[in-house]
Chain A
Amino acid sequence: MNNIRKYTAWLGAGAIMITLATGCADKNNNGQPDSMATGNEIANSTDSMGNAMSNGADAMGNAASNATTDVAQGAENAGTAIAGAGDALTYTPKIKTALGAQPALKGSSINVDTNGPKKVISLTGTVTSAAQKTMAEAIAKKNGPEGFTVENKLTMAGGKM
């Protein structure tokens, strides 16, 4: 009885294995397993992989390009900042000298501050007349770097203008 049960069990297991194997079986007798992917499916799959790789490469390329642009922009900004600092170093004394050499500005006390990155020349301090204020601004413009604006904060000695 036990042997009958053993054979039955072995037969059942064999049946299951055969059933599983039929998924790859060659039912059509064409030399190819029935469940294998067709050529088109492989081609499509290859295309998808190719597209995915291509998209990935594009994304990497774009990222690299953006990174390069960012670096270039950063370098340009740094260059501008350095040039601005150079402007401030060069032009502030030049403007101060020009203001100090002008006899018509006698009695005035003018401070000059050149902000390179902002491209602004600031004039602070006191003057004795509106004409001196106008003249100081004109001298700062004339002796300052091109493209800079003059912020004229000069006030009349003893009062505001």
Chain B
Amino acid sequence: MPYMLNGEMLEIATEPRVGSGTMYVPLRAVTTALGGKADWEPTTETAIVYMDDKIITVKSNDTTVDVDGEKTELQAHPWIDNGEMMVPVRFFENALGYGLDADAQNMIVSFTKS
């Protein structure tokens, strides 16, 4: 399993992808595995993440992320793959405050949260 949280394996089927020096992970699957909830708003084509008392919106092809009304920039824009939104793994670090160790060579993502 390529995903871990505080040293424990996470059950996520979709593997990380690497493109243009950025590692991407499936937004809904990782959010759910970390204990949050992800929703899809079709009218505005926006993913809505509810986690740790935060409400975050992410749009495909848009590097700007809204965290409780505050704008944050991702290093690359999210994209949709087979109906699943892939986001730069740093999203969980920048927007949600997780500690992150992304091993692109071995495709292992380790999250830490106190």
Closest to A134 in B: B39
| Contact (Cβ within 8 A) A129 B43 | yes
| Contact (Cβ within 8 A) B50 A104 | no
Q: Which of B16-47 contact A (CB under 8 A)?
A: 39-44, 46
Q: Determine whether B69 belongs to the interface, using a CB cutoff of 8 Å to chain A.
A: yes
| Contact (Cβ within 8 A) B39 A135 | yes
Cα–Cα distance between A138 and B55 once the two chains are bound (Å): 8
Known: A98-B69, A135-B48, A138-B50. A103 touches B57 (CB 8 A): yes
Closest beta carbon of chain A to B16's beta carbon, Å: 26
Residues of B within 8 A of A132 (CB): 41, 43
Q: Determine whether B68 belongs to the interface, using a CB cutoff of 8 Å to chain A.
A: yes
| Contact (Cβ within 8 A) A104 B68 | no
Residues of A within 8 A of B44 (CB): 103-107
Main DSSP-derived SS at the B contact region = strand
Cα–Cα distance between A142 and B69 once the two chains are bound (Å): 12
Interface residues of A toward B: which range?
Answer: 10 to 19
Q: Which of A119-157 contact B (CB under 8 A)?
A: 128-129, 131-132, 134-135, 138-139, 142
Closest beta carbon of chain B to A107's beta carbon, Å: 5
Q: Determine whether A102 belongs to the interface, using a CB cutoff of 8 Å to chain B.
A: yes
Cα–Cα distance between A102 and B69 once the two chains are bound (Å): 7
Q: Determine whether A16 belongs to the interface, using a CB cutoff of 8 Å to chain B.
A: no
Residues of B within 8 A of A138 (CB): 50, 55
Known: A102-B66, A103-B66, A104-B48. A135 touches B55 (CB 8 A): yes
| Contact (Cβ within 8 A) A106 B43 | yes
Closest beta carbon of chain A to B66's beta carbon, Å: 7
Which one of A101, A107, A134 lies within 8 Å of B43 (CB-CB)? A107
Residues of B within 8 A of A104 (CB): 41, 44, 46, 48, 57, 66
| Contact (Cβ within 8 A) B42 A131 | yes
Cα–Cα distance between A151 and B56 once the two chains are bound (Å): 22
Residues of A within 8 A of B69 (CB): 98, 101-102
B contacts, CB < 8 Å to A: 39-44, 46, 48, 50, 53, 55, 57, 66, 68-69
- Which 5 A-B pairs rank lowest in CB-CB distance, beginning with the nearest? A131-B41, A104-B46, A128-B43, A131-B39, A104-B57
A contacts, CB < 8 Å to B: 98, 101-107, 128-129, 131-132, 134-135, 138-139, 142
